[in-house]
Amino acid sequence: MLYKRSSELFAQASKVIPGGVNSPVRAFKAVGGTPIFIKEAKGAYLYDEDGNRLIDYIASWGPMILGHAYEPVTNAVIEKTKKGTSFGTPTEIETKIAELAVAMVPNIDKIRFVNSGTEACMSAVRLARGFTGRDKIIKFAGCYHGHSDSFLIQAGSGAVTFGSPNSPGVTQGTAKDTLLAPYNNLDAVEALFEANKDEIAAIIIEPIAGNMGCVIPKEGFLEGLRALCDKHNTLLIFDEVMTGFRLGKGGAQEKLGIDADIVTFGKVIGGGLPVGAFAARAEIMSYLAPEGPVYQAGTLSGNPLAMAAGLAMLTALNDTPEVFESLEKKTAYLHEGFEKALSKTSLEYTINRFGSMISVFFAKDEVVDFETSATANNDTFKKYFHGMLAEGIYLPPSSFESYFLNDALSYEDLDFTIAAFEKVVATL
């Protein structure tokens, strides 16, 4: 495949945009090479600036769950656009999508819309702090909750009680209120509660993690967090920016049968437009301005175009919930094909899958947290990534990402992908 025009466009972009991209993972830093500039997309396929067709396993990091340029969504946006793009006033469509979201997701009475997953998680934590009157939060190493200061904290050795910033620009003052624990380690969380009695406002977690590759909670882990939160009057925040409206109508809460106190959304809920949201029962949401004292606002929050896209997307998912089952079957099919191909090689590997999320780790042992995810062989991953790309398969350009299937993928596409996979892994 040729990427001549992509290379030129990247060079041009790099002169005026830091690193040539508006979000770092797009830059191919982890895998080397030049990022691919996409011109258009339809269904399961991306078409790049050099005229290559790629089978897409990223789905814009989740939102395009029904495939690209999905007509009910694009038509809804086109129709809305003709009537004005922003008013700075309430509009009826905001209530419509809120009603639908509240009906689809268990355990929430009210929802507020924002512009990104980052904003949703940032606001959810502020709300939890306002509601509990406490400052500290617990997050898990390897979980991503957007790029606001409180969340850019990673486990360093010895950083058990106090987090240390992993991005310059995050102050120590902010970092000290974020406590870290390894994913799937209930004892570590218990120890944090012991050491910080009556100080922890919330635990925030990806109920199925997708930002250290796909990592699945062990039996009893989330139940244990729920019990600890109940015991210590701490709120449990499920960051469902990835899992919401992807694992099922009701997201991870429904799929796993565990109630969170606050749930955050993004990605699918905007159907490809910039939308995030956070939701909770009325008692908690009543703390938000203008009803309550916790301030949160947004000039373009609930924007009519974004709401039109989101409403069309949620309506489609609500009306055809068999999509979730179809996606899960396709992902299982892919998993089986990958497994078969890998078993013929001498490579060390682990495949994690949940619903329509799947990751292949070139790691020997089970991947259950950030530390085990980080043991995966990155040199092998790089060769694998570029090998698949050369076959026309577009995978996330980092081993710390999950693939997101979209329902426009046909079994023919999956067979093509598995054949490419078999060919590529045989060369590793």
Would residue 177 show up in a list of annotated catalytic residues for this protein?
A: no
The residue type found at 294 is: V
Q: How far apart are the first and last CA of the chain?
A: 20
How far, rounded to the nearest angstrom, does the alpha carbon of residue 257 sit from its chain's CA centroid?
20
Of 178-207, binders to ligand PLP (CB under 6 A) are 206
Structure-block tokens of residue 321: 């919930």
Please say which residue, 138 or 342, places its beta carbon nearer to ligand PLP: 138
The residue type found at 358 is: I
Please say which residue, 123 or 196, places its beta carbon nearer to ligand PLP: 123
Residue nearest ligand PLP, Cβ-based: 117
From the candidates 48, 56, 177, 239, give the one annotated as an active-site residue. Answer: 239
Give Dmax over CA atoms of the chain in angstroms.
61
- Enumerate residues 6+ apart whose C-beta is below 8 A from 24: none
- Tell me if 48 contacts ligand PLP by CB under 6 A: no
Q: Is 154 in a helix, a strand, or coil? A: strand
From the candidates 80, 110, 267, 382, give the one annotated as an active-site residue. Answer: 267
Please say which residue, 296 or 377, places its beta carbon nearer to ligand PLP: 296
Please say which residue, 43 or 276, places its beta carbon nearer to ligand PLP: 276
Of 377-406, binders to ligand PLP (CB under 6 A) are none
Please say which residue, 148 or 286, places its beta carbon nearer to ligand PLP: 148
- Tell me if 301 contacts ligand PLP by CB under 6 A: no
- Tell me if 121 contacts ligand PLP by CB under 6 A: yes
Residues in contact with ligand PLP, shown as a per-residue x/- string from 240 to 259 under the rule CB under 6 A:
-xx-----------------
Report the phi/psi class of residue 44: left, alpha or beta, with left for phi > 0 and alpha for psi in -120 to 50. Answer: alpha
- Tell me if 118 contacts ligand PLP by CB under 6 A: yes
Closest to 428 measured CA to CA, from 397, 364, 385: 385
Please say which residue, 184 or 380, places its beta carbon nearer to ligand PLP: 184
- Tell me if 116 contacts ligand PLP by CB under 6 A: yes
Of 135-154, binders to ligand PLP (CB under 6 A) are 144-146
The nearest distance, CB 194 to ligand PLP, in angstroms, is 28
Please say which residue, 146 or 217, places its beta carbon nearer to ligand PLP: 146
Tokens 């990104």 sit at which residue?
116
Please say which residue, 145 or 232, places its beta carbon nearer to ligand PLP: 145
Phi, psi torsion values for 306, nearest 5 degrees: -65, -40
Residues in contact with ligand PLP, shown as a per-residue x/- string from 67 to 106 under the rule CB under 6 A:
----------------------------------------
Tokens 């009695």 sit at which residue?
197
The nearest distance, CB 409 to ligand PLP, in angstroms, is 20
Would residue 144 show up in a list of annotated catalytic residues for this protein?
A: yes
Residues touching ligand PLP, count (CB under 6 A) = 15
The nearest distance, CB 245 to ligand PLP, in angstroms, is 13
- Tell me if 266 contacts ligand PLP by CB under 6 A: yes
Rg over alpha carbons for the chain, rounded to the nearest Å, is 21
The nearest distance, CB 259 to ligand PLP, in angstroms, is 19
- Tell me if 262 contacts ligand PLP by CB under 6 A: no
Closest to 240 measured CA to CA, from 218, 213, 261, 219: 261
Residues in the chain, overall count: 428
Question: CA 419, CA 424: separation in Å to the nearest integer?
Answer: 9
- How are strands ordered across the β-sheet holding 276-280? 110-114, 276-280, 262-265, 235-239, 200-205, 136-140, 178-181
Would residue 411 show up in a list of annotated catalytic residues for this protein?
A: no
236 forms beta bridges with: 203
Tokens 């991947």 sit at which residue?
367
The nearest distance, CB 404 to ligand PLP, in angstroms, is 10
- How are strands ordered across the β-sheet holding 403-404? 350-354, 357-361, 403-404
- Enumerate residues 6+ apart whose C-beta is below 8 A from 140: 180, 181, 182, 183, 205, 206, 209, 369, 370
The nearest distance, CB 267 to ligand PLP, in angstroms, is 6
Closest to 303 measured CA to CA, from 114, 109, 61, 63: 114
Residues of the chain by 3-state class (helix, strand, coil), percent to 5:
40, 20, 40
Contact with ligand PLP (CB under 6 A) among 150, 211, 352, 372: 211
Stretch that binds ligand PLP, among 65-73, 158-166, 179-187, 236-244 (CB under 6 A): 236-244
Q: Which residues bind ligand PLP (CB under 6 A)?
A: 116-118, 121, 144-146, 206, 210-211, 239, 241-242, 266, 276
Looking at the annotation, which residues are catalytic? 144, 239, 267
